[in-house]
Chains A and B, each alone.
Chain A
Amino acid sequence: MVARRSLIAGGLALAGVLSVAHGAWIPAKAALAQVLLDRAWRETQRTRAPTKPWPWADVWPVTKLTAPVQKKSMVVLAGANGEALAFGPGHLRTSAPAGVSDNSVLAGHRDTHFEFLKNLKLGDSLTLEAIDGGVHEYKVTDLRVVHETDTRALLPTETATLTLITCYPFDAIVPGGPLRYVVRAQGITGHNPFLDKKT
């Protein structure tokens, strides 16, 4: 009787440890991958060709997103499928590449890479690094919560626009809710941080 009970307790403890380990592995993987991705991104900029961060990867970097105020920087991957999002924010294939006068849309997990979105404020700066090494700056102009079916955030725009999408609410425990947090940032035309930095 006692033996059975302690067996149950042991089993529960083991399952608990495994579950916690699995839960901890997700953010750890997200952070570790970024190190390898950073290397792949530099290689991508050098060769101007898609470079895989590790041989068996199904993802490759397309741009680098930086939030100077929040001191966050991350390599963005092509496509917003589940695999890409586990390693970094994903760039929606149907949206514009970085720096173009159109809408560039990135999506990221609300509890890993895009957790910092909740700290973004209107007027905050964001930058995207293009494959040619150009840096494009954007200012946050809008923050809102939308339903997942409200796809207006994906529509093309006439001016350089950066749209960041993540799940909402940020601290919901169960994933898969229908709300999304959408950050809109407008490109600052003709601005190159390397050329006209304030002295």
Chain B
Amino acid sequence: MPSIYRYRSIGVDFLLLLMILAIRPAFGATAAPLGDPVNAVEAKAGTLLVRAQDDRVLRPVPMLGTEVDIQVTGVVARTVVTQYFHNPTDLWLEGVYVFPLPENAAVDTLEVRIGDRIIVGEIKERAEAKKIYEKAKAQGKKAALLEQERPNIFTTSVAGIPPEGMIGVRIEYQRELLFRDGVFSLRFPMVVAPRYVPGDKAIGISGHGFSPDTNQVPDGSRITPVVAPSHQKPINPVKLTATINAGMAISVQSPSHVIGINESQAGIVEIAFADGAVPADRDFVLNWRPVMQKAPQIALFTEHFEGEDYRLLMVMPPQADVVAESRLDREVIFVLDRSGSMAGTSFEQARAALTMALKRLSPRDSFNLIAFSSVSRQLFVRPMPATSANIEKAIEGVSALTAEGGTEMLAALKLALDDQARGEKVRQVVFITDGSVGNEDALFEFIKQHIGASRLFTIGIGSAPNGHFMKRAAILGKGTFTHIGKHYQVNQEMAELFKRLESPVLTDIRFDWTGESPESYPAPIPDLYAGEPLVVLFKAKDLDKEIVINASVGSKKWNQRVSLKDSLTQAGIARLYARRKIDAIELSFNELVPTLHWQGARRKIKEEVTKTGLQYQLVTKHTSLVAVEKESSVPFEEKLKTWSVPINLPEGWQHGSAWEQPAQELIVEDATVMMAPLAKVKYERVSAFAELYDLRYDLRKEAKVVRGEREVQLIAENQAIHKRKAEKARPYAKKNPLPQTDSPTPSAMQIAMAQILPRTATPAQLFMIIGALLLLTALLLRRRLFSRW
């Protein structure tokens, strides 16, 4: 039985591998003044990583401190963040700086102070900016490059950091403030909630056996934060000042920090930390509300930018009368995709989401449940009141469902949308699917025609749902799209969605302009839910009259006249407008594909985003900020010594290989972004602030990440062993050049994508072996039986 022997030897190998994986080798020697090599998958705000000569890993340099200044006027917050680092080595270094920002932030300024020089960034097309930076670096000039990797992740590369020198990186961005339930809220991230979470393990058999260990909190030595100089008391002390010019008397408070408040004149409030500098161990949150009970209902801000007037209009629907009337009963139709493509983890998540949603219904609501695969079935003939008995019945029904068959989505949509409610009920269709459909166009058309008074909320399940389809379907259905990638996100995401769905206020919002309608965002205007203001950004030159806002409140009409004359001047409106415009451009991909085809649509979007980025001087996916000093200041021989370009390729990268071309960029990314991540989560601290803020959810997220981090580390450290084994054990490896092994540390970009490559193996062999072993045992038993006779 040669095959069995082979299996056994593999089995032994496998066990050995498990044992090896369980023992973690220590890190190599550390360059004295720098921190441990960073090999984690999680980004902490503003860690500067450097790569010294011949060093294959990136190491964090000590951060000396952070200064934050926030200027709030009206609804716009402009934030200036300056972080100081010290190069403790006697080498010239290149550093990379990763920082996360809120998703709607518009970054427009970069200044880097290296030694006594200040270099200021300029907006350029992304590839061009990169070229300028690389060239400056090669010429021994000090240079900096700020790029957007994902909507909320930015990286800055800094070349030419002198030995024993100081570096200051200053970034400016602005964003709209969150205003909900009469309270303005501002959050400055100081600890980054990691976004990267490894994929769920396949149900049943888990990977190479280390996941049970990695569920645990790693030991203390691994989670020590970035090494700081010993004379430095708090790690990364943050000094923060904020000025709020609200134009009215306000009361301010911070739930996160002890703050000092100084009201220099009516309506202008200055804030600073009471203790001076604080350690960067939790996000800073600032809330304020108008002192008078009644907030102004309408606020209009204008900015004159390059010959155009940009305006931001904020309208607060009159809560008292509107809300009372809008407490309309809802009719919620849940649609669950139970087709074959949902089988496995996806369906578990979908069921959990649905069960959670059912439990949130109030007895005044009515509901129905449609489950579809090749055929659609509904639970009740018509929507039923959400009594506990009915909900119980639905939950029971859901738990009995399995996933198999085709995805006949059109039939399900027909069932959900055709049976429109006649009464005064608000009708919400909650559609849970992975969007695995082939007839997108037909579905879009149907939704457009039949949405009527219903609202379609799509919930994407699984690690890679058809997001394009679901986002677009939600826009056409005047609802929202929610992505639930991981099981632990179900409760949080569903709770957030349902909190909104429970109290719709204004629907069918329309602006009637005198004269030509200007370009405005968001378009179309989504429904408004309780406590939310209506915020619209538009560009208009000679708009001096008034606009009428028309909307429905339940079955009644509501309208509001707004005069455009009384407006306040506010810097930053144009860029907020641009930010919204870029979002809209990126969402138009699906509409462009039928006419321009795939690559035409991609090119078009790239062009439009680049144009907008350059016009409004914003960092976007396709435009970057680049700063270069005029004359070279790095000594020539030093330059040669430290920057033998290209920077060391990670082990396994092959010069001149196929990936080189697109990879030219990627390699740089490797050197820079890839190992970017950063100080590890200080676990005890996280739990302390979880208690304070009841961030149990975040804590779970952290735990997951720590696990992911450790998993990746384990693999990194054992890959060499793995590779050697692969070489020995596999006959085809001799026929074929040995596959190249990449450094397993993912880039910040991949972290942001929170995605993994598809899983592609069947348990066929495993079943065969188990079967063979069982048969063998049976045979042995029989033989002993025979011998006894």
Query: B750: which of A78, A97, A149, A173 is its contact (CB, 8 Å)?
Result: A149
Q: Knowing A100-B597, A141-B657 touch, does A27 contact B764 (C-beta < 8 A)?
A: yes
CB of A67 within 8 Å of the partner chain: no
Shortest Cβ distance from A11 into B: residue = B778
In whole angstroms, what is the CA distance A112 to B598 when docked? 31
Of all chain B residues, the one with the shortest Cβ separation from A118 is B732
Alpha-carbon distance A168/B514, docked complex (angstroms): 64
Q: Would you call B598 and A12 a contact (CB within 8 A)?
A: no
Q: Are B781 and A8 in contact (CB under 8 A)?
A: yes
Chain A interface, number of residues (Cβ within 8 angstroms) = 97
Question: Smallest CB–CB gap between A106 and chain B, Å?
Answer: 10
> Given the known A-B contacts A119-B732, A119-B735, A152-B747, are A173 and B757 also in contact in the complex, defined by CB atoms under 8 Å?
no
Contact A60 to B438, CB < 8 A, known contacts A18-B771, A119-B732, A175-B762: yes
Q: Are A145 and B746 in contact (CB under 8 A)?
A: no
Contact A110 B658 (CB under 8 A): no
Are A147 and B746 in contact, CB atoms less than 8 angstroms apart? yes
Complex: chain B residue closest to A108, CB-CB: B760
Q: Contact between A145 and B205 (Cβ–Cβ < 8 Å)?
A: no
**Residues from chain A with Cβ under 8 Å of B747 in the complex:** 152
User: Most A CB atoms within 10 A — which of B599, B658, B757?
Assistant: B757
CB neighbours (8 Å) of B741 from chain A are 144-146
Q: Which of B206, B373, B436, B726 makes the CB contact (< 8 A) with A81?
A: B436
Known: A13-B775, A145-B741, A176-B206. A50 touches B438 (CB 8 A): yes
A59-99 residues at the B interface, CB under 8 angstroms: 59-60, 78-86, 90, 92-94, 96-97
On whether the beta carbons of B207 and A151 are closer than 8 Å, the reply is: no
Residues of A within 8 A of B736 (CB): 118-121, 143
Whether, in the assembled complex, B561 has its beta carbon less than 8 Å from a beta carbon of chain A, the answer is no
A114 at the interface (CB under 8 A from B): yes
Would you call A184 an interface residue if the criterion is a C-beta within 8 Å of the partner chain's C-beta atoms? yes
Nearest CB of chain B from residue A196's CB, rounded to whole Å:
23
* Least CB distance, B655 to chain A, in whole angstroms: 12
Flag if A97 contacts B598 (CB, 8 Å).
Answer: yes
**Partner pick for A83 among B343, B602, B657, B785, CB 8 A cutoff:** B343
Residue B344 CB within 8 A of the other chain: yes
Q: Which residue of the partner chain, among B343, B658, B744, contacts A150 with CB atoms under 8 Å?
A: B744
Closest approach, in angstroms, between the C-beta of B749 and any C-beta of chain A? 8
The answer to whether B466 touches A93 (Cβ under 8 A) is yes
**Listed stretches B178-186, B193-201, B270-278; interface member:** B193-201
Instruction: Say yes or no for A157: interface residue by CB 8 A criterion.
Output: yes
Q: B760 near A110 (CB under 8 angstroms)?
A: yes
**Could you say which residues of chain B place their CB within 8 Å of the CB of A155?**
662
- Docked complex: A21-49 residues within 8 A CB-CB of B: 21-24, 26-27
Contacting residues, chain B, for A110 (C-beta < 8 A): 760-761
**Main secondary structure on A side of the interface with B:** mixed
| Contact between chains at B340 and A10 (CB < 8 Å) | no
B717-737 interface code vs A (CB 8 A; 1 in, 0 out) = 000001000100110100111
- How far does the alpha carbon of A141 sit from the alpha carbon of B747 in the complex, in Å? 23
Contact in complex: A171, B730 (CB < 8 Å) = yes
Contact residues, B1-29 vs A (CB, 8 A): 7, 10-11, 14
Decide: A13 and B778 in contact? CB cutoff 8 A.
yes
Interchain CB contact (< 8 A) of A175 among B346, B434, B763: B763
Min Cβ gap B180→A in Å is 33
B350-367 vs A, Cβ < 8 Å mask (1 yes, 0 no): 000000000000000000
On chain A, the residues within 8 Å of B407 by CB distance are 58
Measured between beta carbons, the chain A residues less than 8 angstroms from B662 are: 155, 157-158, 161
B256 within 8 A of A: no
Q: Is the C-beta of B231 less than 8 angstroms from some C-beta in chain A?
A: no
Whether B341 and A81, one on each chain, are in contact in the complex, defined by CB atoms closer than 8 angstroms, is: yes
The distance from the CB of A66 to the nearest CB of chain B, in whole angstroms, is 19
A23 touches B771 (CB 8 A): yes
Residues of B within 8 A of A84 (CB): 341
If A27-B764, A170-B732 are given as contacts, then 19 extra A-B residue pairs at C-beta distance below 8 Å, sorted by A number, are: A5-B781, A9-B781, A12-B775, A12-B777, A12-B781, A13-B775, A15-B774, A20-B771, A26-B763, A79-B341, A83-B343, A111-B761, A146-B741, A149-B41, A150-B744, A173-B766, A178-B715, A181-B739, A184-B658
B434 touches A107 (CB 8 A): no
Question: A186 CA to B340 CA in the complex, in Å?
Answer: 33
CB distance from A188 to the nearest CB of B (A): 13
| Cα distance A118–B735 in the bound complex, in angstroms | 10
Any A CB within 8 A of the CB of B135: no
Cβ-based interface call for A126 (8 A): no
Cβ-based interface call for A133 (8 A):
no
Q: Are A142 and B757 in contact (CB under 8 A)?
A: no
Interface string of B746-789 (1 = CB under 8 A from A): 11001001011111111111111111111111110110010010
A-B contact pairs, 9 of them (CB 8 A): A16-B777, A19-B767, A20-B768, A83-B340, A100-B597, A145-B742, A148-B199, A174-B208, A176-B202
> In the bound complex, do residue A150 and residue B750 qualify as a contact, i.e. CB atoms below 8 Å apart?
yes
| A55 in the interface (beta carbon within 8 A) | yes
Asked whether any CB of chain A lies closer than 8 Å to the CB of B42, the reply is no
In the complex, A127→B39 CA distance in Å?
Answer: 39
Q: Confirm or deny: A165 has a beta carbon within 8 angstroms of a beta carbon on chain B.
A: yes
Q: Which residue of B lies closest to A160 (CB)?
A: B599
Q: Is the CB of B205 within 8 A of A86?
A: no
A58 CA to B373 CA in the complex, in Å? 8
Residues of B within 8 A of A58 (CB): 339-341, 373, 404-407, 436
Listed from nearest, the 6 A-B pairs whose CB atoms lie closest are: A141-B658, A19-B771, A23-B767, A16-B774, A20-B771, A50-B438
Whether A6 sits at the interface, judged by CB under 8 Å, is yes
Contacting residues, chain A, for B7 (C-beta < 8 A):
173
Please give, as numbers and ranges, the residues of chain A lying within 8 Å of B762 by CB-CB distance.
Answer: 26-27, 86, 109, 111-112, 175
Q: Which of B205, B466, B599, B768 contacts A176 (CB 8 A)?
A: B205
> What is the interface of chain B, defined by CB distance below 8 A to chain A?
7, 10-11, 14, 41, 196, 198-199, 201-202, 205-208, 339-344, 346, 373-374, 404-407, 434, 436, 438-439, 462, 464, 466-468, 597-599, 602, 652, 654, 657-659, 662, 666, 708, 711-712, 715, 722, 726, 729-730, 732, 735-737, 739-742, 744, 746-747, 750, 753, 755-779, 781-782, 785, 788
B764 adjacent to A174 (CB under 8 Å): no
Q: In the complex, what's the smallest C-beta–C-beta distance from A48 to chain B, in angstroms?
A: 12
For residue A30, give the distance in angstroms from its CB to the closest CB of chain B. Answer: 8
Q: What residues on B are CB-neighbors of A122 within 8 Å?
A: 737
| Cross-interface CB contact of B659 among A13, A94, A184, cutoff 8 Å | A184
Select from chain A the residue with minimum beta-carbon distance to B670.
A152
CA distance A161 to B599 in the complex (A): 13
User: Does A20 lie within 8 Å of B785, measured CB to CB?
Assistant: no
Asked if B202 contacts A175 (CB within 8 A), the reply is yes
Specify which chain B residues have a CB less than 8 angstroms from the CB of A16 in the assembled complex. 770-778
A195 on interface, CB distance cutoff 8 Å = no
How far is it, in angstroms, between the C-alpha of A55 and the C-alpha of B374 when the chains are bound? 9
* B740–A144 touching, CB < 8 Å: yes
Q: How far is the CB of A99 from chain B (nearest CB, A)?
A: 10
Is B756 touching A149 in the complex (CB atoms < 8 A)? Answer: yes
The reply to whether A173 and B769 contact each other, CB–CB distance below 8 Å, is: yes
Cβ–Cβ contact B764 & A26, under 8 A: yes
Asked, given contacts A6-B782, A118-B736, A152-B750, whether A22 binds B206 with beta carbons under 8 Å apart, the answer is no
Q: Are B374 and A12 in contact (CB under 8 A)?
A: no
Interface string of A112-138 (1 = CB under 8 A from B): 101000111110000000000000000
Minimal Cβ-Cβ distance residue in A for B337: A58
Q: Report B-chain residues with C-beta under 8 Å of the C-beta of A193.
A: none
- CB contact between A24 and one of B10, B763, B768, B779 (< 8 Å): that residue: B768
Question: Could you say which residues of chain B place their CB within 8 Å of the CB of A102?
Answer: 598-599, 602
Complex Cα–Cα for A71 and B271 (A)? 72
Q: How far is the CB of A137 from chain B (nearest CB, A)?
A: 15
Whether B746 contacts A150 by the Cβ 8 Å rule is: yes
Q: Is the CB of B742 within 8 A of A167?
A: no
B761 contacts which of A17, A109, A119 (Cβ < 8 Å)? Answer: A109
- Whether the Cβ atoms of A96 and B598 lie closer than 8 Å is yes
What residues of B have a CB within 8 angstroms of the CB of A22 in the complex? 767, 771
Do B755 and A167 touch across chains, with their CB atoms under 8 A apart?
Answer: no
